Amino acid sequence: MKKSLNIYVTLFVALVIAGCSTKKDAFLNRNFQSLNTKFNVLYNGDVAFQKGLEELNSKYKDDYWKRLPIEPLKVEELALPGMDGAKDNSNASFEKSEEKAVNAIQKRSMNIKGKERNNQIDNAYFLLGKSRYYSQRFVPALEAFNYVLQKYPTADLIHETRIWQAKTHLRLKNEDQAYTSLKYLLKKPELLEEVILEKGHTAMAMVFTEMDSLDQVVHHLKKAVLTDNDREQKARNLFVLGQIYRERNQKDSSQIAFQQIIEMKKAPYKYQIHSHIEKVKNVSDETDTSLLIETLGKLIKDRENRPYLDELHYQTGIVEKRLERIDVAKEHFEKSVHAKSAKKFQQGLSYEQLGNIYFDRAEFVSAGAYYDSVIDFSKLDNSKRIRRLKRKRANLDEVIVHEQIRHKTDSILNLVAMTLTEQEAFFQDHINTLKEVDEKARQDEINSGFGGFNDTQNLTAGNGKWYFYNTQVVGFGEQEFKRVWGNRPLEDNWRLSDKTIVRNEDTDEVEVLDVIEESEKYNLESYITRIPTDENVIDSLKTLRNNSYYNLGLTYKEQFKENEIAASRFENLLTFSPSDKMILPTKYHLFKIYSEIDALKANKYKADITSNYSDSKYSKLILNPQLVIAAADDENSPEKIYEAVYCDFEEEKFEEVITKSEKAIKIYDDLPILPKFELLRAYAIGKKSGVEAFKTALEFVKLNYANTEEGRKAAEVIEAISTLD
């Protein structure tokens, strides 16, 4: 018995040894090598490949604010022969799957008399090509796919290999070759399996995306989503279809595509939740907004949607804003900003909406703070949207500065105007409020902070009750601090961004109020002694205040077209008894403002100017603006002066051009020639100070003279410069 067993073992070993040979074309050899390749080498290679694909997909982050790419693969750089794949996309699993494929080819190939006898080698080359593709080594990947097509034309994976060959051509910018290859594949769809048709049409949609042929993209995506072989790719294809339909203003078709994803069984949840969000973007006058808000509310309450709260609150805010429920919209935008998993780009969009709300309310200081937050979140973003926002924010600088000066000087001068008794009562109220706030803070600290040092939970980051042990509350506090105060240095008296007040128009500075030290904040006398009493200081404050009110009136009137706010600033200015040189221009601007919003008041200022200042330029402008131009002698006419300044520009006397243009702008205020001087000044600034200053000056012309030839020219130049950025 033992002797027979030994004989069988010997025979088996002999057969195995004989089958191991890759040089002998025998049934045993072919099947041994084929089975060993399939269930050993390639199996391990496929496992590594699938692991690499999962890692790649988990790292890939879609930007749902743009049209999604049909294939989720971010190509950082094109790797040529002899180069490694893109560094950011290196993946050890793909390297392992490639190694297994190479191992199968080198050690298991049975190329006998020019013919491959191991029927698994074509699969090895196919795995090799896919591994290289995802490692972004597209040239060697193409070599592997080409080899399969040339050497194994009857292989069972030949059609799928052709699809991968086309995709690789596409990554190498060979759109025509990719198109030709896929066209050959799809010319007889009745002969192809469903899964091949699905993948083929998806790949063809990718080709036409690169060719900018949206009609063909839509055609092939519609073909690709008819089957359910790859649910993830089907969901993605439907999502892209929905986005394209919206781009083409086919909102009904877009809604249908997104609804299909929502109703899809086993579709990835990221596509389903974003389909809800995309449907909100399609809102129109016919949309049932009450049902939409109810749906969004349910999604917000669902704990599973916590990672998407920033987007859900934002879209809810957009709908509420559309319904003109501005305060409710504002609440949702704020929740979007402070959502725990909020993405920076989404935070930027929400901050922008908050800024727009304050901008529309003409609360420009608050609007500027929100726009600053957007720009801070978008430091690396140079898109058209951000460039436009930066220009809008730059235009707020002047009004913000003057509003701050107005607020400071009003506060100080109000104190100066009080009697000593009134001053003491004012500051005593302030001190009492400080004491109440400090006492409440002390009690809160005792009750919720210092009593819990023996409670280990209180010391756990993110879970503690004490403010500074709760990372979420601290993070919220930091954001709110930056929004309100900006980036302040860590120093004493950090609240004071400007600790001095300008003395006069020549920008001499004088300290008007010393800072109250912590130890003196309850001392009434420490406040009283800091109120300025020097008449020179008080006069300089009045001058500064009056200039700010005048500049604010002009800015609100000319730049932001906020006539009511502009009128308020000018009316207030007249109550301050400003200098004579300021009274008449102020009344003239009030006449111009009220001509648009209040005829009765316009007539009042018209009568005042034409009666009490009958010889002035402003009176003549009101009665007959064209006569002012005609009455000017030839040498001093606006046209002649413009020609002279333009000659200075051609002679490259840019400093003189700026000075003369600014003088002319003041003289010829409201005359038709004014935009010409403004545009010439902008060009001179560009020549003298560079591109950024040029763009800022042009933006002013564009905004303030939009309906003139000069305003349109400024817009064209801005657009041309922006394309070069």
pLDDT digits (tens, 9 = 90+) for 432-449: 998 998 888 888 878 765
Taking 70 as the threshold, does the pLDDT of residue 327 lie above it?
Answer: yes
Among the listed residues 407, 392, 413, 717, the one whose alpha carbon sits nearest the alpha carbon of residue 576:
413
pLDDT of the residue at 590? 95
**pTM exceeding the 0.75 threshold for the entire prediction:** no
pLDDT of the residue at 130? 92
pLDDT of the residue at 169? 96
pLDDT of the residue at 302? 95
Q: Which amino acid is at 292?
A: L
Domain 631-724, what architecture?
Alpha Horseshoe (1.25)
For residue 476, name the pLDDT band (cuts at 50, 70, 90). Answer: very low
Q: Are strands 115-116 and 501-502 parallel, antiparallel or unpaired?
A: unpaired
Taking 60 as the threshold, does the pLDDT of residue 474 lie above it?
Answer: no
Taking 50 as the threshold, does the pLDDT of residue 312 lie above it?
Answer: yes
pLDDT of the residue at 31? 54
Q: At what angle do helices 231-247 and 214-224 cross, to 10 degrees?
A: 150
Give me the percent of the chain exceeding a pLDDT of 70: 78
- In terms of pLDDT, which residue wins out, 34 or 396? 396
For residue 231, name the pLDDT band (cuts at 50, 70, 90). Answer: very high
Find the mean pLDDT for residues 471-480: 44
Residue-wise pLDDT tens digits, 247-267: 999 999 999 999 999 999 889
pLDDT of the residue at 511? 39
**Is the separation of the CB atoms in 314 and 353 below 8 Å?**
yes
CATH 1.25.40.10 residue spans of the chain: 304-395
Among the listed residues 133, 213, 127, 221, the one whose alpha carbon sits nearest the alpha carbon of residue 169:
133
CATH of 304-395, one of 1.10.10.10, 3.40.50.20, 1.25.40.10, 3.90.550.10: 1.25.40.10
pLDDT of the residue at 19? 45
**Is the separation of the CB atoms in 251 and 274 below 8 Å?**
no
Please provide the distance, in angstroms rounded to a whole number, between the alpha carbons at the two ends of the chain. Answer: 89
Give me the percent of the chain exceeding a pLDDT of 90: 44
pLDDT of the residue at 228? 87
Q: What tokens does 527 get?
A: 């406040």
Find the mean pLDDT for residues 168-182: 95
- In terms of pLDDT, which residue wins out, 716 or 628? 716
Lowest mean pLDDT among 15-29, 295-309, 337-351, 648-662: 15-29
Q: What is the DSSP string of 61-118?
A: ---TTSPPPSS-----SPPPTTSPPPGGG--HHHHHHHHHHHHHHHHH--EETTEE--
For residue 383, name the pLDDT band (cuts at 50, 70, 90). Answer: confident
Taking 90 as the threshold, does the pLDDT of residue 618 lie above it?
Answer: no
Lowest mean pLDDT among 666-670, 680-684, 685-689: 666-670
Residue-wise pLDDT tens digits, 478-518: 444 444 444 544 444 444 443 333 333 333 333 344 567 78
pLDDT of the residue at 213? 94
Taking 60 as the threshold, does the pLDDT of residue 454 lie above it?
Answer: no
Lowest mean pLDDT among 224-238, 401-415, 639-653: 639-653
Residue 135 burial by CB count (10 A; 0-12/13-18/19+): exposed, middle or buried?
buried
pLDDT of the residue at 432? 92
Distance CA 24, CA 213 (A): 53
pLDDT of the residue at 480? 45
Torsion from C-alpha of 158, 164, 166, 168, nearest 10 degrees = -140
Taking 80 as the threshold, does the pLDDT of residue 20 lie above it?
Answer: no
Taking 90 as the threshold, does the pLDDT of residue 463 lie above it?
Answer: no
Taking 60 as the threshold, does the pLDDT of residue 451 lie above it?
Answer: no
Coil, strand, or helix at residue 502?
A: strand
pLDDT of the residue at 28? 52
pLDDT of the residue at 512? 42
For residue 606, name the pLDDT band (cuts at 50, 70, 90). Answer: very high
CA 361, 365, 369, 375 torsion: positive or negative?
positive
